[in-house]
Structure formats: structure tokens, C-alpha cells
Amino acid sequence: MPATDTDLLNSMMAEITRLKSENDQLKKENEELKKKQDKTDPNGQHGGSHNGQVGQKEPVQLTASDTKGSVSGLASGTGRATLTDKNGKPVVGEKITFKVGETVVGTGITDANGTATVNSGSYLGDPVFWFKAVSTGYQAVYDGSEKYLPAQAHANVTPAFA
């Protein structure tokens, strides 16, 4: 027997509920990682002792902007994240990775304002991807550098029916 619209809608709502729960768990894990990142050892070193051989890395702030994902015609959306140093100044030329769940959407390099962007690109026609993006949002991930500590940020994706 073919599935009715109601069956399909109920199935989608159940999946949204499951993905939102997964998203809440990821947010908790992200907060725990941030707390660990902020802790310092007795020598003032982040992430453990370096025996004075390596200088202390500087903390950074990564913020991701909520976005609207257009689902009219081909689905599309743009992720945007801004990386700043401890003084709020832009960090330029650093790679930011954008993910939905474990799927890497793309990468961007921070510009003069510390902002990197990525478009959904090859995921335009994937309804499962868009369903997950709308229900869980996206992550912006900075892996750190010789100078800066790593950072992560989360933002929401809201469907826009144009």
C-alpha cells in the first residue's frame, strides 16, 4: 500500500525529533569541549604542560550565523562564521570547516573581517541533507594553528520557502 501524505509527514516529524535530540547532545558535547579548552594547568599552559618548550596558544572566539536555507526550486544556503582573537580583532587567513552532522559541506578562509563563508554547493538536491540541516543546524570548526587554540560554533538553518 502506498504511503499517504500523513504517513510521510509523521515519518518526517519523527526524524526531526530524533535529529533535534542528536543536536542537543552535540551541543552538550561542544560545551564540555569548550570548558576543557578554557581550563589551564598550574603553569598557565592550555591543554597540559609543555615543559616551557612551546609558548601558550591564544584563545579565539568563533561565532556562526543563523541562516535561511531556500527550498524553492533547488535548495541552497550559505554558512557564515567569524573568527576573532581574545581582543575581538579579526583573525585573517585561517581555514574554517562547515559541517552538517559529520558531513563536511565545505571550507572557507577568513577574510579581512575574520569572516569565512561557504555555500551548500553539491548538496543542493539532497533532501535528506536539507532535512538534517534544518533540524540540527550546522557547525563551524576551526582546527587552531601554531598561534591559536581550536574553536567551534553552532548555528541554526531555517527553511525559507520563496
- pLDDT tens-digit profile of 85-109? 999 999 999 999 988 888 888 899 9
Q: Side-chain half-sphere of 152: how many Cα atoms within 13 Å?
A: 17
Enumerate residue ranges in the chain where pLDDT < 70.
Answer: 1-3, 5, 8-9, 12, 19, 34, 36-55, 69-76, 120-131, 160-162
**Burial class of residue 58, CB neighbours in 10 A (0-12, 13-18, 19+):** middle
138-to-97, 126, 146, 154 alpha-carbon distances in Å: 10, 16, 26, 6
How many CB atoms sit inside 10 A of residue 96's CB? 28
- Looking at residue 52, its pLDDT comes to 40
> 57: closest CA among 141, 146, 143, 125?
146
> 140: closest CA among 74, 110, 96, 101?
96
C-alpha–C-alpha distance, residues 63 and 80, integer Å = 8
Which of the 8 DSSP states describes residue 102?
T
- Looking at residue 11, its pLDDT comes to 72
